[in-house]
Structure 1
Amino acid sequence: MSRLKDYENLLGGLSGGVVSTMVCHPMDLLKIRYSANEGSSFRPQYSSYVDAARQITKSEGVRGLYQGLTPNLLGCALSWGAYLHVYNWMRQRARSSFPSAAASPHLTNFACAYVSGASVMCFTNPIWLVKTRLCLQYESGVEKYDGMVDCMKKIVREEGPRGLYKGFVAGLFGASHGAVQMMLYTHLSERRARQLGREPTAQLPLTDYFFFSTLSKVLAVTLTYPYQVVRTRMQDHNAAYRGVWNTLTRTVQGEGVRGLYKGLLMANIRTLPATVIVFVTYEKVKHAVRTIDK
């Protein structure tokens, strides 16, 4: 019979995803708009992130900064919950079934994290697609989509079910982002626990979670960021890109290699609060579940 403790990673991930999204969604919106902007005249032109926030709030109020919140909330909660649950389950199975896994923990953690991320992407890609399109409904134009459900219906009607998986291949490349992050985070957390003479899964001080989550995320974002630009542009209904290679080459030809890093600053600025909130909430909820289920 399953115990509540068996779902500690799922519950912790769900909680972390919800809390971080509620706090950090406006920064996510700005990152998406900068990633998508290749200089087209139909898009609003922003001189800075502050200018973008000012223009959006002037046109639509603070509410405008929360376009796409519903799919982002749903996507983050499901992604973090399922991802952390599957990742930890796979690590335990790998270590118990394959003795060689213990000899190469970094490779094992990376592989488990990548497979977990790719698996979760299979059912969350439509949610991320809808979020991107709602975030790219500019205040100066007529809104094409009236919320998450309407957006999903129109995509299926106009582009077929396959339309819900635009950017999926780029997302699979992006699973390496989460794999790098979890490999580093797990390594740092377990190493710190050993230094303190505790079990690898023991609870650590909040400052450790703060530092480890921030460092692992910043490194992962910076190393793998181009996939986010490619994926955002492929999912943008305001422009027509034909596959990963076409999007990649057009971006580099039109904007240079720097174009692949548009929005990186906002992505890293957003990383600090969002990642810390996710992992601190995750660790606290996970250990609270253990306490309840003793």
Structure 2
Amino acid sequence: MVSTTVFHPLDVVKIRLQVDTAARADAVLGRAVRAARHVVARDGAAGLYRGLGANLAGNCASWGLYFAWYTWIKDWMAGGGPAVAASGASTLSPAQHLAAGAAAGALTQCMANPLWVVKTRVCTTSRSDAGAYRGLLDGLARIAATEGIRGLYKGLAPGLLGVAHGGLQFMAYEEMKKLGVRSAGRRTVGDFSSAEYALMSSSSKVFALAITYPSQVLRSRLQQTPGAAAMPGAPGAPRMGSYSGLCDAAAKTLRAEGAAGFYKGFGPALLRVLPGNIVTFIVYEKTAELLRRTGASRGG
């Protein structure tokens, strides 16, 4: 919650860049600054926090659901018992980690998709725009009333394509932990320092994000408000497109913006996710190790 709140302005800028259909020549680094200035000019500094409620709900639900599903699926793959050795390192193969992460990501995406639709639409509009949502509940209610269930699940297809993100991240992360236990002669993963957890979690995140980021761009473009194809002339205003589906969005992006179009907002995305990702993994690992030691001391 803390990291989401602190870094939400980067999310707003990232999403506005993702839906921006500017040609490659116009997609320069300065667009991030101009986008932020445009938001502030329209809504003040508070505009950089539009969509915070949906972002908090989506991130908290997604992280909680993802870790739960991932752990349950790993244990199932291990035959019903904990999928960790005495050292605390996973006993599963890289392929099993990839499959468990992808499955957990797919289940989480299906459950949280409506929250991301509202977040995208709120972050790409200003309070003064006609029909702008007032917040998370208002957005959910109005989408359900005007577009039905289908509207709440816009962007699900690229979201499901992006489930490899979690699988790739956890595969790399688990393999780095196993390598660290073997190479340094540690007894358990609990012997890792916070700095080592930070390095492993950030490296695995960059690896996964670089491969799967195009699916996030396509998801944002499909989730934007219907009829948002208008092209505001104010500097920093995103020039939005209209798409009939995943293939149409991919084809139009490639044709008009080239491969670079699939990586718009990548810089703000890295700045946004890395600090929160590092904190989450350190807290998760330290808490898990504390629970393991508490259970061992009690003979559990």
Short-chain TM bin: 0.7 to 0.9
Listed one character per residue, the Cα deviations across residues 37-56 of structure 1 (whole Å, up to 9, x for unaligned) are 1149xxxx994323322332
* 2:237 alignment counterpart: none
SS in 1 for 2:79: helix
Of 203, 208, 223, which residue of structure 2 is paired with 1:220? 208
- Pairing 1:31-180 to 2, within 5 Å after superposition: 31-39=14-22, 47-96=30-79, 105-138=93-126, 141-142=129-130, 144-180=132-168
TM-score by length of 2: 0.82
The alpha-carbon deviation at position 93 of structure 1 amounts to 2.1
The alpha-carbon deviation at position 118 of structure 1 amounts to 0.2
* 2:219 alignment counterpart: 231
* Contact 2:105–2:167 (Cα < 8 Å) also in 1: yes
Distance 1:105 1:64, change over 3 A: same
* Contact 1:184–1:216 (Cα < 8 Å) also in 2: yes
* 2:236 alignment counterpart: none
* Contact 2:22–2:257 (Cα < 8 Å) also in 1: no
The alpha-carbon deviation at position 97 of structure 1 amounts to 6.0
Separation in 1 of the partners of 2:58 and 2:284?
16
Listed one character per residue, the Cα deviations across residues 83-142 of structure 1 (whole Å, up to 9, x for unaligned) are 1121122112212369xxx99610000000000100111110001111111111136734
Distance 1:160 1:47, change over 3 A: same
Separation in 2 of the partners of 1:55 and 1:139?
13
Separation in 2 of the partners of 1:20 and 1:185?
21
Separation in 2 of the partners of 1:147 and 1:25?
15
Higher helix share: 1
Moved beyond 6 Å, runs of 4+: none
Equivalent AA in structure 1 for residue 223 of structure 2:
Q
Equivalent AA in structure 2 for residue 38 of structure 1:
T
TM-score by length of 1: 0.83
- Pairing 1:176-195 to 2, within 5 Å after superposition: 176-195=164-183
* Contact 1:218–1:271 (Cα < 8 Å) also in 2: no
* Contact 2:78–2:92 (Cα < 8 Å) also in 1: no
Distance 1:225 1:33, change over 3 A: same
Q: Aligned residues, how many?
A: 271
SS in 2 for 1:225: helix
Q: Any gaps of 5 or more consecutive residues in structure 2? A: 82-89, 230-241
Separation in 1 of the partners of 2:50 and 2:33?
17
**Stretch deviating more after TM superposition (63-72 or 261-270):** 261-270
* Contact 1:71–1:128 (Cα < 8 Å) also in 2: yes
The alpha-carbon deviation at position 225 of structure 1 amounts to 1.1
Equivalent AA in structure 2 for residue 49 of structure 1:
A
* 1:253 alignment counterpart: 255
